[in-house]
Structure 1
Amino acid sequence: MRSTQQFSITLPNEMAKLVRSKVISGEYASESEVIRDGLRTLLARDKAIEAWLKNEVAPAYDAIQADPKRGLAAGDVRAALAAEHKRTR
């Protein structure tokens, strides 16, 4: 059984030029390698987002749900950010 599968894809002209330029420059040996690397990068990004949501966002949400007093009003956050921005200018 084959461990690969052939696809036919259509790309916008700018993306097609980018793929070709990566091959022409020698950065990749083939158009397929460029696409595979792009998909690996997409998978890594998706995993990083999932980890961030699971390890940081969900616990912060749960903490606020458990004790709403821990939260800050949006206006207070904006004011603090504006003050920090003004301070660092």
Structure 2
Amino acid sequence: MRSQQLPHLTPNAGDNRHANRKTMTMTTLNTTTIHGHTEGRFDGIRRDLRTRFEAWKVFRQTRRELNELSDRELADLGLHRSGITAVAREAAYGN
């Protein structure tokens, strides 16, 4: 972020005798450059979204495939139907 100092003329409210007299004040504006840092930030956001989307697809596919199994097949794997979401979450996100 870049700071830029801009002068502004404002009337001096405290001095009624010299109503036409002006004092200079400084205002700081914060601007974000379009080149450089901002482009890198967008690339990072895009990569993060892509990574999250890919993990979500793994979660959905794992859950769908496990739901297609019969109770007997799930039992052979040591799973109960109520644990399918937890297994899919661990497969996709690692927690």
Bin of the TM-score, shorter chain as denominator length: 0.3 to 0.5
Q: What TM-score do you get using the length of structure 2 for normalisation?
A: 0.37
Structure number with larger C-alpha Rg: 2
Q: What TM-score do you get using the length of structure 1 for normalisation?
A: 0.39
Of Structure 1 and Structure 2, the greater strand share is in 2
